[in-house]
Amino acid sequence: MKRLVNPFKPTAGAEPPVLVGREKVIDDFSDGLAEGAGARGRLMRITGPRGSGKTVLLTELGDLARNEGWDVIDETARDGLCDRIAHAASSEASRADLSFDLHAGVFDFHAATPKPEGPCDLRDALTKRLQVLARQKRGLLITLDEVQDANRDEMREIAAAVQHLIREKHDIAFVFAGLTSGVLDLVNGEALTFLRRALPEELAAIPTEEVRAAYRETMVRSGLDIEDEALSIAAQATVGYAYLVQLVGYQVWRAGKGHVETSKLITAFDARQGVDAAIDEFFDAVLESAVAGLPLRAVEYLLAMADGPDVCPTAFVADELNVAAASLTSYRRMLIQRQIIESHARGFVTFAIPYTRRFLRERKESLLARYGVQ
Ligand SMILES: Nc1ncnc2c1ncn2[C@@H]1O[C@H](COP(=O)(O)OP(=O)(O)OP(=O)(O)O)[C@@H](O)[C@H]1O
Ligand SMILES: [Mg+2]
């Protein structure tokens, strides 16, 4: 019998067996590639919470561009970003030059010059690269991940360069991704109006129906089968959150694999078992590290929210804790910065990560005991 391999990939940045619920972004982007210089889909910002699938989506858009013959530079926002992009552009430009010259039947040794050392000018490097690519009717995509951590000056430099290149009608696309609130802070900052106009793609919850269909397809392709009820249980438990789609899929598949000698059918019982295991793992892998090292007051803030409505007034938290609202401002800010909670409207907060309420309720005693509170 063929060895059964779990097809799900609950690992950051790992390509999932089926990329669920991203048709719109992919269509917007491929329309952008087709529509020519300056098209809307060629300047895009992807936002979403941790584990919503931003990195995987950037990889997918990069593959799509490569399939259309484009060159791609993938970067992550860390210091020295502009230099790294400029260097990637110039070293690839010489490679592209070489292949172009070879295509043309001319062997030109200057094309093989080694990668330049030291700082180089970003706009200049990109322009040269785009000119070489243009001769081959190809474009250049730059993807930038973790943009919430970007240095503001470097973002300004990149934005200015991309803006000029678009104005000069070069075939360039720029897609950047990051955590929602961090990216909004960035693009609403000074001199970044150009990036504010990027086509916004927020990675909201994936519809359960689509998760369900992807689960069926993935399970069957992997050699198991699954009951309708099991599919519903598993899909609903993911609440459309990309990382949970993989984690739940992985554990449900595993539960089914446990009895493959007698039956290949994943049952509702297996699904429940798998979901419990997945949520436990999610608590340990995601929520425990989210709350690790918080001051007691911040934990109490979260516990108070867990007793409130989904969109929780900050006044409710202050009431629960019996303190003045102003004394909680720094804790609220800390929790927002650590992406545990979000504030979409003034005076209201929500949990940023699914299952946080359940986690807090189930582990309340153990959380408080860490601070010596009985
Ligand atoms: N559209 C999708 N359908 C199914 N699974 C997905 C999808 N997008 C991402 N995943 C899975 O979700 C997990 C998280 O994806 P990814 O690392 O891209 O998230 P992220 O938003 O970049 O997270 P972070 O903010 O922590 O960097 C991975 O296991 C990945 O395989
Ligand atoms: Mg990521």
Measured CA to CA, the distance from residue 286 to residue 191 in angstroms comes to 35
160, exposed or middle or buried, with CB in 10 Å at 0-12, 13-18, 19+? middle
Highest mean pLDDT among 90-104, 113-127, 253-267: 253-267
**Atom number of ligand 1 nearest to Cα 56:** 18
- CATH number for domain 23-202, candidates 3.30.70.20, 3.40.50.300, 1.10.3980.10, 3.30.10.20: 3.40.50.300
The CATH number of 208-290 is: 1.10.8
**Ligand 1 contacts CB of residue 204 (under 6 A):** no
Task: For the chain, give every residue range classified as CATH 1.10.10.10.
Answer: 293-369
Residue range 117-163, pLDDT digits in tens? 444 689 999 999 999 999 999 999 999 999 999 999 999 999 999 99
Contacts of residue 219, defined as CB under 8 A and 6 or more positions apart, other chains included, come to 225, 226, 253, 256, 266
Cβ atoms within 10 A of the Cβ of 124, count? Answer: 13
The candidate with the shortest Cα–Cα distance to 279, out of 229, 240, 244, is 244
Dist. CA 127 → ligand 1 center (Å): 33
Dist. CA 11 → ligand 1 center (Å): 8
Cβ–Cβ under 8 Å, residues 56 and 242 = yes
User: Token pair of 54, please?
Assistant: 């931003």
**% of the chain residues with pLDDT over 90:** 82
Query: Strand locations in 304-364, DSSP E?
Result: 312-313, 341-342, 348-351
Measured CA to CA, the distance from residue 4 to residue 261 in angstroms comes to 11
Reply yes or no on whether the pLDDT at 45 is more than 70.
Answer: yes
Task: For the chain, give every residue range classified as CATH 3.40.50.300.
Answer: 23-202
Measured CA to CA, the distance from residue 21 to residue 265 in angstroms comes to 26
Reply yes or no on whether the pLDDT at 180 is more than 90.
Answer: no
Task: For the chain, give every residue range classified as CATH 1.10.8.
Answer: 208-290
Nearest-CA residue for ligand 1 atom 9 is: 53
**Ligand 1 contacts CB of residue 178 (under 6 A):** no
- The SS3 call for residue 231 is helix
The CATH number of 293-369 is: 1.10.10.10
**Ligand 1 contacts CB of residue 212 (under 6 A):** no
Q: How far is CA 152 from CA 28, 59, 183, in A?
A: 27, 24, 11
5, exposed or middle or buried, with CB in 10 Å at 0-12, 13-18, 19+? exposed
Reply yes or no on whether the pLDDT at 258 is more than 90.
Answer: yes
